[in-house]
Amino acid sequence: MKLNKFFLLFILLIFVTNCAFLLKPAENDKEKLLSVHLKFWENIRIDGIIEANYKSFVFRKNITIKKNSSAFRVDIYDSGIFGMQPTPFISAYYDSVLTIRTPDQQINQLNRENKEEFDLSVLFKLSDLFTIKDEIIKHQKLNYEDAIITFSDDMKISEISNNTNPNKIVFHYLQNLASITFYKDEKEIINIQIDKITHPSEEINRLN
């Protein structure tokens, strides 16, 4: 009887020890996935189609989004004849201030203090998140300043929401990032279907 108890205890010890060793590679894999995904956002160009429907503002046009470590720029285009020589319809530039140029060439500026819609500053701090990787891997959700960042099982950002209002950005993936959807007051207002993603070098990625 004592031998049987010893044998069972020995088997249980081996099982528990193996489980502990099995958990480590899974966590290491998630750490690598998180590192790769955060670097994915450091310097990026996205080309696609934007569909917007907000109040009386409705359109479907081409869009280019460029982001580097300090700023990003969005250009929405009116296509010329047969898609030739596209001209900017709306341009937006963001570093610490969001500057928007509208079709009538009016320039609007929105700084962090008077923002009402989406706080975009978190997009420039994604590389800092790796310092708190253990918390992200454990919870797959992070309260970070004014934002709540949610991660998928493969450590990709799936949603960025606001702590102070119901606005959010949802990221949809197939093998790669496929679309980005913006919600205001729980209603979809913007959807960006992504055609192409490239990662130009910092030196040639001029946003101004």
* Average pLDDT per consecutive 10 residues, the chain (208 residues; last block may be shorter): 49 47 62 93 93 81 90 83 64 81 62 56 82 92 89 95 88 94 90 94 57
- pTM of the full structure: 0.77
pLDDT for res 203: 45
Alpha helix locations (H) across the chain?
2-40, 133-139
How far is it, in rounded angstroms, from Cα 197 to Cα 199? Answer: 7
Helix (H, G, I), strand (E, B) or coil at 91: strand
Containing 60, the helix (H) or strand (E) segment is strand 57-67
How far is it, in rounded angstroms, from Cα 111 to Cα 31? Answer: 34
pLDDT for res 204: 47
Containing 76, the helix (H) or strand (E) segment is strand 72-78
Closest CA to 172 of 187, 183, 164, 184: 183
pLDDT for res 173: 96
pLDDT for res 38: 92
67 contact partners, CB below 8 Å, separation of at least 6 = 41, 43, 44, 45, 73, 123
CA-only gyration radius of the chain, Å: 23
pLDDT for res 109: 55
pLDDT for res 22: 44
Q: In what order do the strands lie in the sheet with 87-94?
A: 107-111, 97-101, 87-94, 72-78, 57-67, 44-54, 187-198, 177-184, 168-173, 157-162, 147-151, 141-144
Containing 179, the helix (H) or strand (E) segment is strand 177-184
